[in-house]
A and B are shown apart, each in its own frame.
Chain A
């Protein structure tokens, strides 16, 4: 852990990465960000990485933010060139596993934005876990990393979380 600290600190200072953790340190939330969108857009997406360093499975059951009317967990699925979104009621993060939300896959669907958002805006959000634990994070609005989509191309969606209908 110790050796990561300078990086985290540097990232925090640079403002690129924000990191929040659960009280017992088992869950770490990294780099939460919101895809910047044209001013009239009321539905946006947020991405982040959830690391579960603990020995127990963690389940993300909900997300809230004063900046949005409602937030849901979704997964984009492209099958035979047809894109659709699956609504996930919860998202499991197995022990010693990291679940990455990124464009073209898992994301938080942010609905009914209360005001137009601009790149650089900082949005508070609260992640609620099945254990009852809540983690407060701050997501930064920024333009997408379209150059980073190699990951998205090779990403295996099957291993991430459970989805319940």
Chain B
């Protein structure tokens, strides 16, 4: 090595140069990657509170709707999905939230492109009483954008747990009959993006105007900055 000083110098220069180029390329790629990733692009302040810090990829699930239809992860892709967990025997909070969402969808309808992009999913955590047929009738009452689904406990949990949407069924708790029991449920409306990722949420108490306006802003932000 000592005898080939000149050659080595040239070689090491070349290596240095290649290394330098590699670092520059890597840095550029990294910066480029970062600026394309929604986990780093800072969303506008007015929608920041509604978005998860990082969009969460969902794993597949299978929920059961009327007419032997199922709802799986692929059915959420290509649309913005508003997800609400509840139960039909819930007389107050569920119709209130579903009514607000239905009204919000009507406001979103003023923006036809956005309206085309949305769907609502009512997930019953009370499959014992809520059949897929009842759920179809229930959900579509609030908007024709709504689907109603449920499943056995394992199927419901496989979906709800991905949103940390807990629920508790209180059997016969001070109730007159076996079929009159109460359910505690998460009353957040979850928003899933067109890539099937948990993207945002509207915590209770929701407001019609708020949901519609914030959603339009989220969608604009996503289309301009996030969409692959």
Chain A residues in the interface with B (C-beta under 8 A): 35, 37-45, 70, 74, 76, 78, 81-85, 87, 103-105, 107, 109-111, 143-144, 146-147, 149-150, 152-153
CB within 8 Å: A-B pair count: 102
Min CB distance, A63 to chain B, in Å? 14
| Complexed CA–CA distance, A45 and B103 (Å) | 19
27 A-B contacts (beta carbon < 8 Å)? A39-B137, A40-B138, A41-B88, A43-B88, A44-B91, A45-B92, A70-B176, A70-B180, A78-B204, A82-B166, A83-B90, A83-B93, A84-B182, A85-B182, A87-B174, A87-B182, A104-B92, A104-B96, A107-B91, A107-B92, A109-B91, A111-B180, A144-B99, A146-B96, A146-B208, A147-B103, A153-B205
Look across to chain B and name the residue whose beta carbon is closest to the beta carbon of A35: B95
- Check B96–A103 contact: CB distance below 8 A: yes
Q: In the complex, what residues of A have CB within 8 A of residue B138's CB?
A: 38, 40-41
Min CB distance, A106 to chain B, in Å? 9
Q: Interface residues of A: mostly helix, strand, loop or mixed?
A: mixed
- Check A144–B95 contact: CB distance below 8 A: yes
- Residues of chain B at interface, number, CB under 8 A: 33
Q: A44-B91, A70-B176 are in contact. Are A83 and B185 (CB under 8 A)?
A: yes
| Complexed CA–CA distance, A76 and B184 (Å) | 10
